[in-house]
Chain A
Amino acid sequence: MSKLKKMFEAGQFVVTGEVGPPKSADGEVVRHHAAMLNEYVDGVNLTDNQTAIVRLSSIAAAVHVLQTGGEPVMQMTCRDRNRIGIQSDLLGAYSLGVKNVLCLSGDHQSFGNHGTSKNVFDIDSIQLIQTVKNMRDERQFLCGEEIKDHEPRFFIGCVANPFADPFEWRVLRLEKKINAGAEFVQTQCILDMERFELFMAKVRERGLHEKAYIMAGLMPLKSWRAAAYMQKNVAGMLVADELIERMKKAANPKEEGVKICVEQIKHIRQIPGVKGVHIMAVNWEEIVPAIAEQAGLLPRPQLV
């Protein structure tokens, strides 16, 4: 059974990290980052060709994480494979010991390094969640055919973006994902706490916090420019002006970024319904232990 699921069920405030697989066949770098994180987090996300840039596959990366003794959360998008490829990869990943899957639409291919490629989007993220659930609970492929034995029994995750529009629909769309079978949720990184709190209030109104484990997404900032860039250029992102100002004024921006992240975690722990944090420090994995330490998240509980 998924260790992540056990942690949630044990009532722990769960912490996950993230590793972006390399643009090469270097498995060592994944193992290196995983080994760095394992002691400080309960799971490690492996992104699936994020921003549509070709990278080592999330399945293979998840296996590298397993080899270090870590708990992989394999991301799977709908951009690059049809329902045949998706179900085949789910079987393959589970056969290799991967127990957690995070279902997403995937960034449009025009963002990446193969802008002339053809996207797939045979099924969407909500249909993907449904597919993973049906394979597990109904032992059925999408076509209705029975999975006779060894059905994949994934712990199913989804994402939610409280910062995209239409805002009023965001909570209802999360509800659709949960109804489809999502058991845990990771949000887009929070750089506008006010909006996130508004989102959580609506989540509680619909009782969704009782139906799935909601994890707040966080990203430690390195510079005010990174924050300003995201505010201006990343679709579906909201960045509070105060945050940019604070980073601008900081004598040591990186330290300030960590400080902000730690404050956010402490604040988030007080928000009813939030069951964990997902720290996205891609290309800055080594900072996660310090954040976890300062936020009082250590030592991570060991499950027997």
Chain B
Amino acid sequence: MIVAEQKPLVEIAERIKEANKVLIVGCSMCVTVCLAGGEKEVGVLAAALRLLRAQTGRSLETVEYTATRQCDQEYLEAMAKIVTPDIDLIISMACGVGVQYVAERFDQWTIPALNTKLIGGTLEHGVWEERCGLCGDCVLHKTGGICPIIRCSKSILNGPCGGSQNGKCEISPTTPCAWQLIYDKMAKLGKLEALLTIEPVKDWSKARDGGPRRVVKEDVAL
């Protein structure tokens, strides 16, 4: 899933200081799971912004809504009726995709409440870690199911580099060395031999290379 975290409250408050009435839109997908932008967080943010505003002697009117999915026009249509002309500004509590969809659909100025951090999973309650680098050309079959692109701090394809010690990466004693994990897993699978093959340079044109990538599934495209 996409993992995001909320921007500092004062930063959001500063950005909406001109507005009298704001619509705060959550999303029921990834950001609900990672406790950053679901229905509950929408309520908390609305209350906090009203309180902060009250300290300045002015009032702030908030409207709360949580879309089933902000990254889908269909679900934004469902909220069109509450985006009335008296709403000065929309705060999206979705990932960067949701913010853009909302900004595209409505005329109001739309701002993000979250920083979109990573594609990852839950490590333990309240802790999420990156697991996919969105390189567009998955190599997990070669690396024991451990992604060197995003879990190795240097995205090395023929690792580990000389900074791996006691299973940790040179960047921090709390960061596992991805290549140590790959080595251990491949050893366990009896496939260490495969790591002796020199992995050729990667085709990064399939990854972020300037300009949005697009996926088309011909059989369902209209």
Contact = CB atoms under 8 A, between A and B. Distances in A.
Tell whether A and B belong to one assembly.
Answer: yes
Interface string A102-135: 0001111011000000010111111100110000
14 contacts: A83-B201, A111-B170, A121-B156, A122-B201, A122-B204, A127-B157, A142-B201, A164-B162, A169-B183, A172-B195, A173-B160, A179-B198, A235-B163, A235-B170
Contact of B158 (A111, A126, A160): A126
Interface string B191-203: 0000110111110
A127 B198 CA distance: 8
A180 B160 contact: no
A35 to B, nearest CB: 31
Given A161-B162, A166-B180, A180 B198 contact: yes
B122 interface: no
B158 A127 contact: yes
Contacts of A131: 201
Interface string B152-171: 01111111111111111111
Contacts of B164: 164-166, 235-236
B163 A159 contact: no
Contacts of B161: 105, 124-125, 164
Contacts of A78: 154
A121 B165 contact: no
B163 A107 contact: yes
Given A110-B171, A236-B165, A176 B204 contact: no
Given A166-B183, A176-B158, A235-B164, A107 B170 contact: yes
A79 interface: yes
A175 interface: yes
Contact of B201 (A111, A127, A172): A127
Interface in A237-274: 237
B198 A165 contact: no
Contacts, number: 96
Contacts of A58: none
Interface string B170-195: 11000001001001100000000001
Contacts of B183: 166, 169
B159 A127 contact: no
B180 A165 contact: yes
Interface in B125-166: 153-166
Nearest to A82: B204
B192 to A, nearest CB: 8
Given A127-B158, A165-B165, A169-B160, A176 B153 contact: no
A108 B170 contact: yes
B156 A124 contact: yes
Interface in A147-164: 159-161, 163-164
Contacts of A111: 170
A172 B171 contact: no
Contact of A236 (B154, B162, B198): B162
A124 B154 contact: yes
Nearest to A123: B201
Nearest to B159: A124
A188 interface: yes
